[in-house]
A and B are shown apart, each in its own frame.
Chain A
Amino acid sequence: MTTSTKVPDHVDPKDGPAPDPPAPRRKRRKGWWLPYALLVPAVFFELLVHIIPMITGIWVSFLELTQAYIANWGAAPFAGLGNYQISLDFNGVIGSALLRSFAVTCAFTILVVGIAWVMGMAAAVALQRQFRGRSLFRTFFLVPYALPVFASVIAWKFMLQKDSGAVNHLLSDNLGLIDEKPFWLIGDNAFISLVVVAAWRLWPFAFLMLMAGLQSIPTDVYEASAVDGAKPFRQWRSITLPMMRPVNLVLVLVMFLWTFNDFNVPYILFGSSQPPAGDIISFHIYNASFLTWNFGLGAAMSVLLMLFLLLVSGIYLMVLNGRNKRAGN
């Protein structure tokens, strides 16, 4: 993507990196280096912030980096695939716990992305029409996303306390729906709490993206379909949804990746004692590294997580882009 500044005029970009035509050697234009020079800081920071830590992480995953070596990484013995073997040995305690955490995370991600998308879509469609106070609602809906994650999740944590929390107060004391106040942060209910809080935090992002996408659909399409007698739901299904396809493609993928990797919400909600039902994978990996001081094992789990996400993203894009192309023909 960085080479686009130097594409010669006569090369069709569709042909990709075609070999240069055997033209006589041209003299480089004056100042040809400037675009590259301008890119240097970005490349430098990309390397510094993303690539180097990533490579370090992969390297660490092949080391036996336990407490005996963390003061001097260089001395850590090479573990080969040992860390991966432990992580993937689903009969062992560590592997089976990882597998369990992976299953919890899958369920969590599907639910959160689903809820966030539905809510975001509903709100975006509802606010598509002009009416008084529309901008007020738009701002209001963005609050969960705009709040600092720590502040908002800690507020949820207080609300979800068993005895003093607002949620139980409302359900039990005010509405009388339940007699016994349940726990929300331990036991199986922890999963529900986690999904609700994560979806609450995520849906304004879906709303924002979908709202922006909806603006690009020309209104005359809707008018024409209304003349043909299409009801709102039919309009949504046959116009909005197909025309929003490119937006949804990106949106769902990004939300999937974010949610699958979510660390902040479970960490703030549960602290150091995560319940099994809320054992989200990045939190699980954190504990595998920091509570047991075995950073090699934690890094191996991270690399496995990355490979999984890479695979899912790749398949997702291949399948959907393929469909796009067929639809285009």
Chain B
Amino acid sequence: MKIRSVVAAIATGALALTVSGCGSGGGGGDSDAAGGGSGSQTLTYWASNQGTSIKHDKEVLTPQLKKFEEKTGISVELEVIGWDSLQTRIQTAITSGQAPDVVNIGNTWAASLQATGAFLPFDDNAMSAIGGADKFVEPALATGGAEGQPVTSVPLYGLAYGLFYNKAMFEEAGIEPPSTYKDMVAAAEKLTDTKAGVHGLALAAGSYTENSHFAFINAVQNGAELFDDQGQPTFSSDGVVKGIHRYLDLMQKHEVADTSNAQYTNGVQAVNDFAKGKVAMVISQNNAGSSIEAQGMKPDQWGVVPYPAPAGGEEIASHVAGINLSIFKNTENKEGALKFVKFMTSPEVQKAVSSEFKTLPVLKDAEPTFSKKEEASKMFQNIYNNMSAPLPLVPAEDQFESSVGQAMNKMFATIATGGTVTLEDVRVAMETAEQQVAASSGS
């Protein structure tokens, strides 16, 4: 009899954990420094990890925050959050109301986060409080939220994809840096030497966010759209499917990326391969420069060109990537938060910080200062200004990233473990992703 009540007690406890563990996604949350600023003279700021490490971010930002305090008397409590947990932390902050005052977001989330209604819209008043909309580069500001509404985030750092290449390896093989897709594949094939453990390209093939970006870029190169005018997903359209298949073929058909790449769950691993000379090329964003150089590769040892489009395709090499700044609506110090956003997007701070983080300027008339290499700065600036398309500014954008990105993870895993992924397989996977988005958004 005793046993029974013990069992019953334990079973109830374990069951209770099941439901509370999963169901409290909204209620539970970190109740740490996110208190929202107790006094009016303190702001809480969540920064994303932009430097080579979280420590590096703190070292870069702290002197700026000190300056802000000297200027305004408002002290800023800084927390730097890694990319693997930033989105969850923001979700928790939204659901619990235990939010910081100001937060960095990946600009592709802007429309999705805007739809939550938790962020302060930068209407005319707010915009003029931070120095006016005119100061920002237009395509960068356009990423701040859905079209036709006041943005809920403003650009902070600009980023774009580029194709990094190892100069010595290209010279040795007697080839020029590629300017067409065909050239890129040919160069990658030539430089792949599996016996020596060297490959033409490294891909972050196990990272759903990276994969989803390349689904977008390759689809746009084919002239395809991810969402129609009604905001319904069109992932299984011809252009998207073929674009994804082209990207998968870098590992499948051309075999220029190591199958191990299917385990790379973030872009850094691919960049590391490049810095160590294990691959001749890597497609990464401009801030990768700091990681590459931190690992001992000298600025004159690498070059960068746009990620090329196939013959006859649109010359799009990147999405308008970057980091935006948002203010939580329930901040107790709106004025201070606006001052802080103005400060962070001022030319002085932009100049000081972006040279450390190797990011592109988001202000008109600003010169890129992120690299000692003028050619690379100019190249990225050109890609950012002229060869980038914004990801769809719809509330379901984040679901595009997760559903399509995860599907691509699985397809890369299939290829890596010896299977084949046909065009038809991609189409079926994309149809599933479309249904997922439709079902999840509760329609």
Name A residues whose Cβ lies closer than 8 Å to a Cβ of B: 1, 49-51, 53-54, 56-58, 60-61, 64-68, 70-73, 79, 82, 86, 92-94, 161-163, 182-183, 185-189, 246, 249-250, 253-254, 257-258, 261, 263, 271-273, 275-276, 282, 285-299, 301-303, 305-306, 309-310, 313, 317, 321
Contact = CB atoms under 8 A, between A and B. Distances in A.
A65 B442 CA distance: 9
B42 to A, nearest CB: 23
A293 B14 CA distance: 26
Contacts of B413: 183, 186-187, 275
Candidate in B14, B409, B439, B442 with the most chain A CB atoms within 10 angstroms: B442
A82 B442 CA distance: 9
B21 A263 contact: yes
A27 B259 CA distance: 81
A158 B414 CA distance: 21
A298 B25 contact: yes
Nearest to A300: B23
A64 B417 CA distance: 39
Given A271-B265, A313-B11, A261 B94 contact: no
A249 B208 contact: no
Given A68-B116, A68-B395, A292-B436, A250 B10 contact: yes
Interface in B84-111: 84, 88, 91, 94-95, 97
B196 interface: no
A272 B19 contact: no
B19 A54 contact: yes
The 4 closest A-B pairs by CB, nearest first: A57-B23, A53-B20, A187-B417, A71-B118
B31 interface: no
Contacts of A292: 399, 402-403, 436, 440-441
Interface of B: 3-11, 13-28, 84, 88, 91, 94-95, 97, 112, 115-118, 206-208, 259-260, 262-263, 265, 329, 395, 398-399, 402-403, 406, 409-410, 413-414, 416-417, 432, 435-436, 439-442
B10 A162 contact: no
B25 A249 contact: no
Given A183-B416, A273-B406, A273-B409, A261 B28 contact: no
A309 B442 contact: no
A65 to B, nearest CB: 7
A94 B395 CA distance: 20
A188 B417 contact: yes
A70 B94 contact: yes
A48 B270 CA distance: 46
Given A57-B24, A272-B265, A289-B25, A294 B19 contact: no
A70 B116 contact: yes
Given A54-B20, A186-B417, A291 B118 contact: no
24 contacts: A49-B20, A61-B23, A65-B26, A79-B442, A92-B435, A94-B439, A163-B260, A183-B263, A254-B11, A254-B14, A257-B11, A261-B18, A282-B21, A292-B399, A292-B403, A292-B441, A293-B398, A298-B25, A299-B25, A302-B19, A302-B23, A303-B23, A306-B18, A309-B14
Contacts of A272: 84, 208, 265
B13 A71 contact: no
Given A70-B116, A185-B263, A293-B91, A253 B11 contact: yes
A163 B259 CA distance: 10
Contacts of A61: 23
A295 B97 CA distance: 16
Nearest to B435: A93
B16 A305 contact: no
B27 A317 contact: no
A288 B26 CA distance: 13
B20 A250 contact: no
Nearest to A312: B11
A71 B11 contact: no
A141 B440 CA distance: 45
A299 B432 CA distance: 22
Nearest to B6: A250
A302 B18 contact: yes
Nearest to B409: A273
Contact of B15 (A67, A68, A310): A310
A298 B440 CA distance: 10
Nearest to B438: A93
A60 B206 CA distance: 32
Contacts of A185: 263
A53 B21 CA distance: 8
B24 A68 contact: no
B15 A1 contact: no
Given A70-B95, A250-B6, A302 B26 contact: no
A73 B19 contact: no
Contacts of A188: 417
A68 B395 CA distance: 9
Given A186-B206, A273-B265, A294 B23 contact: no
A299 to B, nearest CB: 5
Nearest to A180: B418
Given A161-B263, A275-B413, A309-B15, A60 B23 contact: yes
Contacts of A294: 440-442
A293 B115 CA distance: 11
Contact of A290 (B15, B24, B88): B88
Given A92-B439, A309-B18, A54 B23 contact: yes
Contacts of A246: 3
A189 B10 CA distance: 33
A51 B18 CA distance: 12
Contacts of A298: 22-23, 25
Given A183-B416, A187-B414, A93 B441 contact: no
Nearest to B112: A67
